[in-house]
Amino acid sequence: MAEAVFHEARGLPEDEMIYVANVVNNRVASDLFPNTVCKVVYQKSQFSWTAHKPNTKRIVSRNAAEKASWEQANRVATMAVAGQLPDRTMGALWYHTKHVSPSWSRSKKMKRVPVDHTSPHLFYSRR
């Protein structure tokens, strides 16, 4: 969970990290995805960063900002795994940055979920 939160939202406000953790937890609870955090995070073709397996320890050791993001990601992940984060994405199972428009996001089976309008991500749930 911590690696997913870090790689998907590092350098962003804590709210973004919470949204990522919410999506991972929502997937674990969904019948569409595997039923553990690790299986969800490392499911093939779901999170782009997992394709090249970055060395998180090396990234974090590079500078103070990365270390701070890692510590923040760990706090959020710990709360998420313990069930201490309310779902602020209203059941979202998918997301992407606003800079891309993946084909799946245009499916009639998708419903956009409103989150903070300043978020660099768009979130979706099933209709």
Q: Which amino acid is at 99?
A: H
Question: Is the CB of residue 78 less than 8 Å from the CB of residue 3?
Answer: no
CATH number assigned to the domain covering 2-126: 1.10.10.2520
Match 């996001």 to its residue by tokens.
105
Task: Please tell me the predicted confidence (pLDDT) of residue 12.
Answer: 95
At residue 116, does pLDDT exceed 90? no
Query: Can you give the pTM of this predicted structure?
Result: 0.93
Give the Cα separation of 42 and 5 in Å (integer).
Answer: 13
pLDDT tens per residue across span 55-111 = 888 988 888 989 999 999 999 999 999 999 999 999 999 999 999 999 999 898 899
Task: Please tell me the predicted confidence (pLDDT) of residue 120.
Answer: 94
At residue 127, does pLDDT exceed 90? no
